[in-house]
């Protein structure tokens, strides 16, 4: 279901800068840890571009994973502190699995990890990829790394599963609210051209993953949930083996110019899931 420009233009919005990757001849590369001496954390250059980022709440019922690559849902977790890693796996993982099944209609949901991000003002976000809000426009998977993730996680079943439909979907939720510091912006997949996506290496100590960096396109349509609360969540599609639907939704944190000076630093949890049809 499309969101006509006349509808989008009527939505409340803030204007903010989003960090895009400058097109480059070589493959972009980022380290997820401190690299060897003399090696930069990233070989790419970011360029801030100004966009209107629209309030998605008024049109949330018209937005879907398959049409736009993201969706807003309401769900109150039984977990409140999110301090205990074991409790997150015992309590929150089953919640997330049930929530994804209900939202997608999929047969199975396999949760493979989660990340808690806490904004630490005054630090370099690009040097703290594992814990800071990610302020670079990106997609977590690619056409190559999506299937490889299935092979890595479920090797005995992978080839059979890949003959059907598989998705990689993140469940993103703030840990406290309202979120005014570093809110999450998501891009309508219908507004993203294939040429906007740059396959990029993400280097870990034990492996090299692949993500998409994103280059600037003025056609991109951006949304967020203002003053988001912990009983609200976002579903973000990072890969879909099906080709006739939205497959990748770029996203990033941004600096909201209306954020009050005393806003709490953003804290959030994202659960990464493999969704099997």
pLDDT digits (tens, 9 = 90+) for 216-230: 999 999 999 999 999
Average pLDDT over residues 116-122: 86
CATH number for the region 53-190+223-276 comes to 2.60.120
Q: What is the predicted pLDDT for the residue at 154?
A: 94
Q: Domain limits of the chain?
A: 53-190+223-276
Claim: this prediction has a pTM higher than 0.85: yes
Residue 124's pLDDT band, with cuts at 50, 70 and 90, is low
Beta bridge partners of 115: 270
Taking the C-alpha atoms of residue 127 and residue 39, their distance in angstroms, rounded to an integer, is: 12
Per-residue pLDDT at 6 exceeds 80: no
Task: State percent of the chain over pLDDT 70.
Answer: 96
Average pLDDT over residues 165-191: 97
Can you read off the two tokens belonging to residue 221? 């349509």
Per-residue pLDDT at 47 exceeds 80: yes
Q: What is the predicted pLDDT for the residue at 123?
A: 66
Average pLDDT over residues 175-188: 97
Q: What is the predicted pLDDT for the residue at 33?
A: 87
Residue 5's pLDDT band, with cuts at 50, 70 and 90, is confident
Interval 125-174: pLDDT, tens? 544 444 789 999 999 999 999 999 999 999 999 999 999 999 999 999 99
Q: What number of CA atoms fall less than 13 Å from residue 143's CA on the CB side?
A: 7
Q: What is the predicted pLDDT for the residue at 121?
A: 79
Per-residue pLDDT at 89 exceeds 70: yes
Nearest one of 61, 172, 159, 157 to 108, comparing CA atoms = 157
Residue 44's pLDDT band, with cuts at 50, 70 and 90, is very high
Per-residue pLDDT at 215 exceeds 80: yes
Peptide bond into 13 cis (omega under 30): no
Of the listed ranges 25-34, 96-105, 111-120, 129-138, the one predicted with least confidence: 129-138
Residue 24, judged by CB atoms within 10 A of its CB (0-12, 13-18, 19+), counts as: middle
Q: What contacts 9, CB < 8 A, 6 or more positions away?
A: none
User: What does the mean pLDDT of the chain come to?
Assistant: 93
Residue 272's pLDDT band, with cuts at 50, 70 and 90, is very high
């Amino acid at each position: 279901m499309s969101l006509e420009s006349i509808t989008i233009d009527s939505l409340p919005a803030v204007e903010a800068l989003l960090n895009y990757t400058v097109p480059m001849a070589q493959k972009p590369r980022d380290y997820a840890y401190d690299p060897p001496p003399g090696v930069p954390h990233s070989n790419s250059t970011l360029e801030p571009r100004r966009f209107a980022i629209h309030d998605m709440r008024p049109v949330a019922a018209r937005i879907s994973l398959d049409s736009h690559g993201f969706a807003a849902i309401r769900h109150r977790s039984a977990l409140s502190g999110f301090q205990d890693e074991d409790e997150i796996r015992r309590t929150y993982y089953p919640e997330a699995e049930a929530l994804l099944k209900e939202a997608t209609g999929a047969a199975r949901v396999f949760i493979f990890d989660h990340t808690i991000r806490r904004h630490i003002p005054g630090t370099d976000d690009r040097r703290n990829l594992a814990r800071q809000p990610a302020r670079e426009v990106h997609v977590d998977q690619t056409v190559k790394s999506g299937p490889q993730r299935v092979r890595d996680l479920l090797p005995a079943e992978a080839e059979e599963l890949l003959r059907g439909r598989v998705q990689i979907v993140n469940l993103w939720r703030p840990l406290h609210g309202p979120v005014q510091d570093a809110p999450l912006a998501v891009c309508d997949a219908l507004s993203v051209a294939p040429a906007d996506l740059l396959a990029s290496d993400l280097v870990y100590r034990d492996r090299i993953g692949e993500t998409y960096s994103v280059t600037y396109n003025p056609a991109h349509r951006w949304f967020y949930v203002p003053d988001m609360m912990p009983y609200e969540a976002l579903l973000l599609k990072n890969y879909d083996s099906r080709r006739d639907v939205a497959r990748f939704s770029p996203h990033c944190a941004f600096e909201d110019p209306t954020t009050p000076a005393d806003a709490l630093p953003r804290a959030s949890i994202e659960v990464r899931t493999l969704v099997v049809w």
